[in-house]
Structure 1
């Protein structure tokens, strides 16, 4: 696991560089797209490059991490709406190139299995973007989630619903209780993972992710077992890392080896 400590306003550009390099190598790459505040700077940077003609996603595809159950189509907090507003509508992905789990399905279990099949048929995710919750969840894999879990229905914790109430006008009762989410095992299948966390509120979760024991209590810690993970944090999110000075040292003295 690589840890990069950088100013929050620079992280988006750094990750956009990685996405651009991937697309140059593989124009039909599959991107794993996260919602929430953490990836917004990434999407801004990628959209700017597309607008300037420096990057095209015309052959790329994407899969969302999760979706609420019970929000009607077009609802502003529905994740398919959010990802369209924040990213898809701002770049040159072709219609239908980005897919999310179907929170409207009559048979949610079957919808989850179909989503797993769709990811597999696309060849898997090349680069997965992640945020992290204050309780250590990634996607909607709440504490206690199986470390081998696949896409499934989950019940959100009270903490997650309170954290997400800000997107629902501060009304926690408007936040759904259930969602469909890629499982931890599904996320671990991605060939590369980039996780972004900023702000002091994420500091404990980041410390557990990077330096804690692998445990279902902090679901993101499963990423310690992935061979290609980069964690991007600002100083505030890195404030509880015992080895922060070492991460800065290795970043400053990084060099290529054959």
Structure 2
């Protein structure tokens, strides 16, 4: 695992964006696995700026997102499809028909999970999978539990995840209670995993994920078994790893 410690959120975002941009330049037809939430917003903003400056193109890139809320359509302002359009897709030269997310309105969610796994497999998997990390160590919406679930699946969101996402909704009661998420098997099949973390409130989750035992109680801990993980974090988010002596 490679670790990049940056001074603050802005520096972390630039480093993360640079790694993604390098992949796009290296392999113009790459498959990017993308994430939502507050952490990657700064990185997407930087990628938009570089693309608009003519420094890179997403014209032949394909993207697959980690997850989508169940019950929200693509035009709902809190859907992850909407998030991606606002923060990246509508501002760069990517083709809309090359951007994929699970269908949150699928009548048969189990069939949608199987379809999504087949789609990722048909694309040859992801070349680079971007991940954030929840306060409880979740990646995508793979929540703490008793077993790692390999395939894309429907998940009941934990109270902590619902509370963390409530800031995006007018009322906490409006936060969906379920989501469709890539499983850890699909995430682990990526040729490279890029984890971005920021803030002191993530320090304990990061420490447990990369310095503790591999356990489904900390879903991100499975990344210890991946052959190519890049961790980019600011000083505050990586403080727990420094205390463990992983680096100075």
Q: Shared fold by TM > 0.5? A: yes
Distance 2:80 2:145 in 1: 23
Give the equivalent residue in structure 2 for 1:175. 175
SS of match in other structure, 1:109? helix
Give the equivalent residue in structure 1 for 2:230. 230
Note if contact 2:57-2:93 (Cα within 8 Å) is conserved in structure 1: yes
Relative to structure 1, the CA distance from residue 208 to residue 237 in structure 2 (aligned partners, 3 Å threshold; closer, same or farther) is same
Distance 1:224 1:72 in 2: 35
Note if contact 2:68-2:104 (Cα within 8 Å) is conserved in structure 1: yes
Residue 195 of structure 1: how far off its partner (Å): 0.6
Structure 2 residues not aligned, in runs of 5+: none
Distance 1:81 1:15 in 2: 22
State how 1:189-228 maps to structure 2 within 5 Å.
Answer: 189-228=189-228
Normalised by the length of structure 1, the TM-score is: 0.92
Matched, 1:241 2:234: no
Note if contact 2:152-2:180 (Cα within 8 Å) is conserved in structure 1: yes
State how 1:153-172 maps to structure 2 within 5 Å.
Answer: 153-169=154-170, 171-172=171-172
Kindly provide the CA deviation profile for residues 156-208 of structure 1, in whole angstroms up to 9, marking residues without a partner as x.
00110001000113x21110111100001110001101111111111110101
- Cα-Cα RMSD: 1.4
Note if contact 1:146-1:184 (Cα within 8 Å) is conserved in structure 2: no
Note if contact 2:203-2:238 (Cα within 8 Å) is conserved in structure 1: yes
Note if contact 1:5-1:247 (Cα within 8 Å) is conserved in structure 2: no
Distance 1:5 1:25 in 2: 24
Note if contact 1:162-1:172 (Cα within 8 Å) is conserved in structure 2: yes
Distance 2:242 2:118 in 1: 41
Matched, 1:69 2:70: yes
State how 1:47-62 maps to structure 2 within 5 Å.
Answer: 47-62=48-63
Structure 1 residues not aligned, in runs of 5+: 249-258
Kindly provide the CA deviation profile for residues 132-179 of structure 1, in whole angstroms up to 9, marking residues without a partner as x.
00000000000016324210100000110001000113x211101111
Q: Number of residue pairs matched?
A: 247
SS of match in other structure, 1:206? helix
Distance 1:38 1:181 in 2: 18
Distance 2:20 2:195 in 1: 13
Normalised by the length of structure 2, the TM-score is: 0.95
Extract structure 1 runs of 4+ deviating beyond 4 A. 242-246
Distance 1:242 1:46 in 2: 29
Distance 1:195 1:134 in 2: 14
